[in-house]
Amino acid sequence: MKAIDDIHKTGVTEISRRVFLKKTATIGAGFTLALSLPSPVLAQSAGESFLDRQDDPVSNAFVRIGSDNSVTIIIKHAELGQGTFTGLATIVAEEMDADWSQVVAEAAPANKALYSNNFLGMQLTGGSTAIANSYTQMREAGASARHMLVSAAAKEWQVPASEISVSKGRLSHGSGRSISFGDMAEAAATEDVPQKITLKDPKNFTLIGSELLPRKDLGKTDGSAIFTQDLKLPGMLTALVAHPPRFGATVRTFSDQKAKALKGVVNVLQIPNGIAVIADTFWNAKKGRDALEVDWDLSAAMSDDSDDQMRRYRELAKEPGVSAIVHGDLKVGFKAAVQIIEAEYEYPYLAHATMEPMNCVVQISETGVELWYGCQGHTLDQGGVAAALKIAPDKIKINSLFAGGSFGRRANIHSDYVIEAVLIAQANKSDVPIKLVWTREDDTKSGYFRPMYLHKLKAGIDSNGKIVAWEHRIVGQSVAANSAFAAFIENGVDGTSVEGATLLPYKMPNFAVNLHTVESQVPVLWWRSVGSTHTAHSVETFMDQLAAAAGQDPLAFRFAHLGDDDRYKAVLELVADKSGWGESQSEGRIKGIAVHKSFGTYVAQVVDLSVAESGEYRVEKVVCAVDCGLAINPDVIRSQMEGGIAYGLSPALMSEITIKGGVVIESNFDRYQVVRMKDMPEVEVHIMSSPAPPSGVGEPGTPVIAPAVANAIFSATGKPKISLPIGRKV
């Protein structure tokens, strides 16, 4: 993702087009300071189709002030648990000088014109970009609302606007007059939208950087929050789908006789991806699905093992592949080396395994197609559904609900489960809402895995203990291929396959990264931190192997090779200081370190490992240093580092998807193992104080933990742990 240098600007600024500030003609229908507009869904007046409003840039945007003094901030990014309701609301509320207690966060509907990700050009949550792409936009939205409130008060009180101060949702004048945002909103809505506004000097921030802001994604501790799984609509039915047992299989014939005889089963339908059973409840739909008799055509289905695939990867890695980056001359480098070290690393397929399995509610009626779900890729899904139904994207209304985790899964390049739901509703030829529910087994076995990868590394060290040559070969599927993201592929290299391997913190005179992109029937997708899920591990564990070969401390070896970017050095120094790196270790405890930058954020972690005589080990503690530029919500940053570490620890220790004879072996949490309470280390997070523009935190905590653990194990045993998952013993 490109960094935008002027994103951290302060002072007077031209309002960017991206704020979509236009004065609205009608109070109550406008976006900026409209009154008590309950939600874009409920705001439709009688007889008006929601479809008429979709591309109207004044119908809603980012701020709405209610006469009840609520300040509703429209969040264009999906709340997946990462805290974006809180983060984006903080930025708007800061520039408005709203009181945090009056702030309400609300999910934006699908509307590319209004709610695009400014880095990606479509409405999409991903790449840890939510704060980074919209920091200036949200500031401008808040400052504009504040400006209009101040102008209205100045008029009403007949005083210069410059004499009006704003604090905690109240406008005040030295004369003693004071009024709430809510009471000023109606008058403010008639004010001209400012063409120029003044953004705050960051030193005057009171909400940004505050430790005292409760989250704004509410209802999650009393069962009242509504996820897709929980949505009830009048007449709604539940659909389960019998999916192909192997990737590439199709339905030859099926019998629905037994299923249709069961209580509650309303309809059985063939769709492109299997047989859908529609019933009144989940359980009746499941019993109906269990009673189906399907004869699958396996002639085009995947039939080999993931192990077979890995063997082919190993063969491929014997050849260089396509060049992703090269500088210097490897031949010269290796000639100068006194030691040459080689390693191969294998990474399995991984499922995202969100707690809420994939699901989607669809209603197709005369007024259009309406969906309700934890939507992450609004524009992708609108396009995908439009193509599937052969209608215009703007005829598809998406209502975004809380998602029970995503980790990349819900931003699907092919809108897989969303289109499945839509095709069921279409085939059902009725306007009753259909809730497609995937079971855990459906979710685990249906793919869109983090691709399987093989890495082969070879490096030379000279007589001074410096790396003089570094050759890195990567073999695996491309997540961008055959999708709207094929633009990520340049000169045959999918940037997401090699990110984290091509731009290292370390200076090396002779350096090359090569890629073999392979085809497979296994559907693949980005997975929290994307390329860094594997590149951070191979690079950082290989660094420890080289350090050992050079007889150097891993941290000192890294410092000796660091390039010009001082932010790496700073997080390494901080984590070393806070973890007591280099100090005498307590008995039975071994440390490991790793550093990695992803999505513009620098993270260094030190693991404290204990190893039992049996060889079983436990990650006892993780100290984490993070530099994500300006820290908007320190507690959200900490929670994302904690969660990112937990998420990365699962594939480090235990998670893997294996395929035998074309069948995904793992189907539920009994075999697809993930970190539980007993496995979770204590985590201590330290946030760098930084004036740099804010960058993301959703993903960058994840990739660093696996190499840190592997390096601690290497330090304990002297044997490099080559592949993931490491398993329960060293």
Partner 1 sequence: MQLTLRVNGIARKIDEDDDTPLLWVLRDTIEMTGTKYGCGIAQCGACTVHLNGAAVRSCVIPISQVGDREITTIEGLATPEGMAIKAAWDDLSVVQCGYCQSGQIMSATALLSVNAAPNDDDIDGAMSGNICRCGTYGRIRAAVKQAAQSMTAKDV
Residues that bind partner 1 (CB under 8 A): 80-83, 214-215, 217, 219-227, 229-230, 232, 238, 263, 280-283, 287, 353-357, 402-407, 437, 439-441, 635, 639, 642-647, 649, 668-670, 674-678, 680, 682-683
371 beta partners: 362, 398
Q: Which is nearer to partner 1, 404 or 495 (CB)?
A: 404
Q: Minimum distance between the CB of residue 514 and partner 1, rounded to whole angstroms?
A: 34
Q: Minimum distance between the CB of residue 283 and partner 1, rounded to whole angstroms?
A: 4
Question: CA-to-CA distance for 730 and 724, rounded, in angstroms?
Answer: 12
Q: Are 655 and 350 in contact (CB under 8 A)?
A: yes
User: Which of 488, 472, 468, 469 lies closest to 480, judged by CA?
Assistant: 488
Q: Which is nearer to partner 1, 288 or 693 (CB)?
A: 288
Q: Are 442 and 245 in contact (CB under 8 A)?
A: no
Q: Are 154 and 146 in contact (CB under 8 A)?
A: no
Q: Which is nearer to partner 1, 141 or 637 (CB)?
A: 637
Q: Which is nearer to partner 1, 283 or 295 (CB)?
A: 283
Question: CA-to-CA distance for 679 and 677, rounded, in angstroms?
Answer: 5
Question: Quick count: other Cβ atoms within 10 Å of Cβ 105?
Answer: 23
Q: Which is nearer to partner 1, 293 or 682 (CB)?
A: 682
Q: Minimum distance between the CB of residue 612 and partner 1, rounded to whole angstroms?
A: 16
The pair of three-digit structure tokens given for residue 528, joined into one six-digit string:
């929290």
Q: Which is nearer to partner 1, 376 or 497 (CB)?
A: 376
Q: Which is nearer to partner 1, 118 or 667 (CB)?
A: 667
Q: Which is nearer to partner 1, 61 or 237 (CB)?
A: 237
Q: Which is nearer to partner 1, 146 or 352 (CB)?
A: 352
Greatest CA separation for the chain: 83
Q: Minimum distance between the CB of residue 609 and partner 1, rounded to whole angstroms?
A: 17
Q: Minimum distance between the CB of residue 226 and partner 1, rounded to whole angstroms?
A: 7
Q: Which is nearer to partner 1, 481 or 674 (CB)?
A: 674
Q: Are 475 and 451 in contact (CB under 8 A)?
A: no
Q: Minimum distance between the CB of residue 278 and partner 1, rounded to whole angstroms?
A: 14
Q: Minimum distance between the CB of residue 670 and partner 1, rounded to whole angstroms?
A: 5
Amino acid (one-letter) located at 379: T
Question: CA-to-CA distance for 593 and 540, rounded, in angstroms?
Answer: 9
Question: CA-to-CA distance for 341 and 68, rounded, in angstroms?
Answer: 68
Q: Which residues contact 299 (CB under 8 A, 6 or more apart)?
A: none
Q: Which is nearer to partner 1, 109 or 357 (CB)?
A: 357
Q: Which is nearer to partner 1, 663 or 680 (CB)?
A: 680
Q: Which is nearer to partner 1, 174 or 214 (CB)?
A: 214
Helices 705-717 and 532-549: angle between axes, nearest 10 degrees: 30
Q: Minimum distance between the CB of residue 443 and partner 1, rounded to whole angstroms?
A: 10
Q: Minimum distance between the CB of residue 263 and partner 1, rounded to whole angstroms?
A: 7
- Residue 657: CA atoms inside 13 Å, Cβ hemisphere, count? 25
437 beta partners: 359
Q: Helix or strand or coil: residue 231?
A: coil
Give the H or E element holding residue 342: strand 339-347
Q: Which is nearer to partner 1, 337 or 653 (CB)?
A: 653
Q: Minimum distance between the CB of residue 378 and partner 1, rounded to whole angstroms?
A: 18
User: Which of 507, 501, 486, 575 lies closest to 533, judged by CA?
Assistant: 501
DSSP state of 562: B
- Dump the DSSP string for 429-488: TS-S-EEEE--HHHHHHS--BBPPEEEEEEEEE-TTS-EEEEEEEEEE--SSTTSTTGGG
Strands 250-255, 293-297: pairing is antiparallel
The pair of three-digit structure tokens given for residue 293, joined into one six-digit string:
């008799």
What totals of helices (H) and strands (E) does the chain contain, helices first? 17, 30
The pair of three-digit structure tokens given for residue 415, joined into one six-digit string:
């809108």
Give the H or E element holding residue 603: strand 601-611
Q: In Å, how far from its chain's centre is CA 187?
A: 40
Q: Are 649 and 711 in contact (CB under 8 A)?
A: no
- Residue 438: CA atoms inside 13 Å, Cβ hemisphere, count? 25
Q: Minimum distance between the CB of residue 153 and partner 1, rounded to whole angstroms?
A: 35
Q: Is 679 exposed, middle or buried (0-12, 13-18, 19+ CB in 10 A)?
A: middle
Calculated CA dihedral for residues 550, 552, 553, 555, nearest 10 degrees: -70
Q: Which is nearer to partner 1, 568 or 617 (CB)?
A: 617
Q: Minimum distance between the CB of residue 652 and partner 1, rounded to whole angstroms?
A: 13
Q: Which residues contact 457 (CB under 8 A, 6 or more apart)?
A: 342, 343, 344, 345, 470, 471, 472, 473, 538, 539, 542
Q: Minimum distance between the CB of residue 651 and partner 1, rounded to whole angstroms?
A: 12
Q: Minimum distance between the CB of residue 209 and partner 1, rounded to whole angstroms?
A: 16
Q: Minimum distance between the CB of residue 395 and partner 1, rounded to whole angstroms?
A: 30
Question: CA-to-CA distance for 97 and 223, rounded, in angstroms?
Answer: 32
Cα separation values, 484 from 38, 133, 587, Å: 35, 20, 53
Q: Minimum distance between the CB of residue 701 and partner 1, rounded to whole angstroms?
A: 9
Q: Which is nearer to partner 1, 447 or 643 (CB)?
A: 643
- Dump the DSSP string for 94-153: HHHT--GGGEEEEE--S-HHHH-BTTTTBS---TT-HHHHHHHHHHHHHHHHHHHHHHHH
Q: Which is nearer to partner 1, 384 or 681 (CB)?
A: 681
Q: Minimum distance between the CB of residue 221 and partner 1, rounded to whole angstroms?
A: 5
Q: Minimum distance between the CB of residue 19 and partner 1, rounded to whole angstroms?
A: 29
Q: Which is nearer to partner 1, 186 or 684 (CB)?
A: 684
Q: Are 52 and 238 in contact (CB under 8 A)?
A: no
